[in-house]
Structure formats: structure tokens, C-alpha cells
Amino acid sequence: MSRLNYLLLAIIATIVFSCSKNEDGYKDGMATIKINFSGTASINMNSKTPNNPSSYTKGLEQLTSTPIQDIEIRLNEKYKIIATLTAEPPKKNKAGTENHIQTKSRVESDLPLGTKYRVIAYDASNNLIEYKDYAVGTPLNSDDSFRVPAGERYTFVAYSVGTTETSDLDDIVPSGNFNDAKFNNVNGNRHFMYYVKPASNYSEGLTTLDIVLKHVFSEIKTIITLDNAVSGTLETIDAMIKPHLNQVDIKVDGASPDYSNGIVSTSGATVSFINSNNGRSAEATTIVTAADQTSTGGGSLIITDISISGESSTQVPPVTGLKIIPGGRYTLTLNVKQFTPDGPTDIDYGDAKWALGNLVYDPSTEIYGFAPTSGDYGNYWFPDYLLPKRLDISNPNPDSPGDVNGTNGDPCSLVLPLGKWRLPTEAEFRSIVRVSGQPFPPLRYIGTYNDEVTNTGMFLDINTHPGSEYEKYLFFVYGGSYNDNPSSVTHLGTTGYYLCTSPTFPGGYKMMQFGNNINTAEIATSINPKSAMQIRCVRSN
């Protein structure tokens, strides 16, 4: 090739390179901001710090996420559930699949290809000047870059709701000054993700801005599995997680959801299970939008219906104490096992099988149950009402204020499993009085429950303290009663008053009393319908 040809090629190359630089705007006083989608991030639960720190996540290093270990939930008389909550570690890099991509910056994306996200530019005065929309996996060209005057400060914000619809981004686009702008009415059931690049100066030429969208809401994968010892199949399961908000506002400058003013979902976040493994297990992934649950009692999984081989349970105690950090990823495993009582579930005495503790009600879970021991007080109940006397308000009787004590009925029948317990009858109380009083002196003893600093009451079928065998005997604690009075309990520690049914008595109820000597164990001649007292349930069959 001649020297002239070499010279000509050199001139052409110089012209092409010069034009390319001019086309890219590298030497025209402008900064070109190229967008590079670099993946997604969630809270790193191992280090308790976020993968992508921002003003929203500052301080999370002080939070803990203690897993639930071996929490046993009684399902019915056949089955129980062992629940375990664990925090998922950050995802490891892996090859891309049809719906997931591995970005160049070695951050994994859990977003399907085509997921829309928007990038907004704010100038030095914090005014929104421009935004551009992108799709995960779609190649970019020069028109997809931001062009801003070099040397000036700009803030960039990116967000997504995990869908392929641009209209979903439009629904929550912020407006106004960066310091005051909000994403309004963000759907708490979608994968809202956010990224902010704080105000920075951009030099003339090309700058690549790596976008890592951080999950703002929590995600819980719930897996329920039948233990090998449980025969049959899991046919249906309906559940929800509380607390949960359907909508929240999120400030643009920090991505901190306004949980206090959000729209609370009364039905919680729906847990939609999909059966697998020939009906032996089911799995669901649920977005949960709620404030940090690590410093409170925690969230709850509430199973509203579960059917195993045709046997349905609709009243299941909730899985409580879910310690959840916003933005974290969790797995909640529910292992269904056969239920075998660890010890006796009742005491057979007289003509009935008596519960081991007085009736209690938890208003936070709406679950009926029994006090931990026979020596603990239960709630106080008005005759023929399903909810106990309220001690946190003025509730002297079931008519004041109205409706707070529920509807009429037998609250024992609401202890799980339903229909297995009921109020004792007058005849059943008379039976234990007769059996314990047949010898002389009567086989009764008044004292503390376990010979320590515990509540006083009466043992039946023994005339001395049973010592270490106190759990084997029927014991009625002296809880007194509230007699048409909002705050004053009568005879606490000296007399036990217990509600019973009496079909032949006006009103249908009577009252059993255990007094301060062993001969005072009798049915009272009358009952004040505005008095609240203890209840000891009996087996219904």
C-alpha cells in the first residue's frame, strides 16, 4: 500500500472518531448519563444491613430477625403444625434463565424480562426536569441516556412496581420538589422497588449510572408440608398475613413508606397456595407491606381454612411473632404432624371431664382457650355472653356499654377444636360436691395451688396439700366476682364463683361457689345476671 493510501486512511479514521465523539456529545459541554440496569437487592438479613444503603435503611444494623423455632400450633385433635420462620440469605450469582437475568455488574435480578422501570432526573434546585422509561433486558441506544449540563448537580431516582405496564408507573409518578415529592398510593401488593443516586456533579462526557432497585416491601415464601406420618393429601388451605397495608405513600427522598397513614387491609395479605408434590405440600409467595415488626409482638399468619383428606378446620390458632423487617425475604415453613397430647387434657371427676384451667380469651387473636394452670385466674364472664368483661374500660355489666361483651351463647363452645367443650351444668357441679363430700370430713383442701406464692383455691378429692402431685387434682381458684361494678372485684382470694347452666332456673344460669372453709362448696340460691365470674368448661362428650 502506498504512503498516500496510509495517509488517506489516517484522515478518514480521524474524521470518523471525531464525528463519533461529537455524536455522543463528549466534547460539547454536556454530561451524558447512560443507564445500566444492574439488578435488584433486598435487606441482607445476615448482616442486618441493606445491600443498597439509603436514608430509609440507615440504622437497620441495630435490628435483629430472630427466627421462629418449633412453634407448635394445634390444628385439630389429629394434627398440629410446627412453624419456622427463617430469613433468606442474599441470592448468589447464577446463570440467567428465561425469566431472570444476570447483569454485567454481577448483581442478580429477580425481575422477569420486560419489567418496566422509570428513571427521574432532578436538577440542583430539586425540580423534576425529565424522566425516561426502560424495560429489563431491552438493549439501550443513545436516546435512552440523559443529557445534562456538565458540572451541575443532579439527583437520579429510579423505581418499579414489578410489572410490564407503563401505566402502572404513571399511577404513582411523583410531582413537585424532590424534598417534598411522594410516590402516592403505592399498591402494597406489588413489588415496589426504589433507587436513589444522591445529588452529584457530572463531568463532560460519558458517565454510566448503575441502577440497583431495592425491594421496599417484605416477601414471605410459605411452604406447608404433610409429615411422612400424616396420611392423605392437603386439599385446600386459605390463609392471610397481618398486619398488611393495601396502599402507602413513599417519600421520594428516602423511600420510607408512611405506614401510619396507609390503607390497612382488614383481611391482611392473601396467601395464595399452589398445591404440589401430589397434594403433599403447597407453596405461596406473598408480599407483605407493614412497618418493622422486630420491636413489636410481630406479625401473624392466620389460617382461615385447611382441609386434609376431607377433614376441614376453620378455627386454627394463628402463627404469631413473625419478626419481619421491611424489604427482607423470608421462608415460613409449616410442617403438619400428628398431634399427641404431652399430658392429660382434662380431669375426670364426678359426672364430667373438667378442663385443666379456667376459660380465657385473647382479643388480639380472637382465640378462646384455658389458663396455663388451674391456679391461674381466667377472664370474668357475664351469664349468656360470648365475650368476657372488659377490664380496660368501664364495663360494669353487659348492657353498659352495649355490644362489647358480644352476642349470647356459650363461650366454652368456641374453644378449639370447636364444639368439644361446653359450660358445666348445675347437676355436674352438684356431682363433684357430692363425691368430694361423701367421706367425713370432706375430701377437700383450701390452700395455694403448688405450695409456693400462687393463688388460693380449693382442691377436691384430697384433704391435705398434694405436694408435687398438685396437677393431678381438680382445683378451683378463688377469683371472686365483679358484681355490677366496673373495677371492684369481690372476695378475690377468698371465694371462687363459677358460672353454670340450669335449664329449670329463671334465666337458665346459676352460680357455684367455693368458700373459705371446706364445707362451703355449693350452688348459690340465686345469681345476679349483671355479675361476671370465672368459668371452668367441661367436655361436651
* Stretch 168-176: mean pLDDT: 93
| pLDDT at residue 98, rounded to an integer | 33
pLDDT at 267 over 80: yes
Is 148 or 103 the better-scoring residue by pLDDT? Answer: 148
Is 92 or 37 the better-scoring residue by pLDDT? Answer: 37
Distances (CA, A) of 63 to 42, 243, 322: 15, 19, 14
- Position 348: which residue type? D
Per-residue pLDDT tens over the stretch 458-468: 999 999 999 99
Q: At CB < 8 A and 24+ separation, what contacts does 435-438 make?
A: 435/349, 435/350, 435/460, 435/461, 436/460, 436/461, 436/521, 437/521
Quick one: what percent of the chain has pLDDT higher than 70? Answer: 86
Residue closest to 529 by CA, chosen among 351, 312, 384, 371 = 384
Cβ density class 186-219: b for 16+ within 10 Å, e for less: bbbbbbbbbbbbeeeebebeebebbbbbbbbbbb
Per-residue pLDDT tens over the stretch 491-510: 999 999 999 999 989 999 99
d(C-alpha 43, C-alpha 65), whole Å: 11
0.85 exceeded by pTM: no
| pLDDT confidence tier of residue 27, bands split at 50, 70 and 90 | low
Distances (CA, A) of 249 to 46, 65, 192, 256, 267: 28, 25, 11, 8, 20
pLDDT at 539 over 90: yes
DSSP 241-307: EES-EEEEEEETTT--B-GGGSEE-TT-EEE--EEEGGGTEEEEEEEE--S--SSSS-EEEEEEEEE
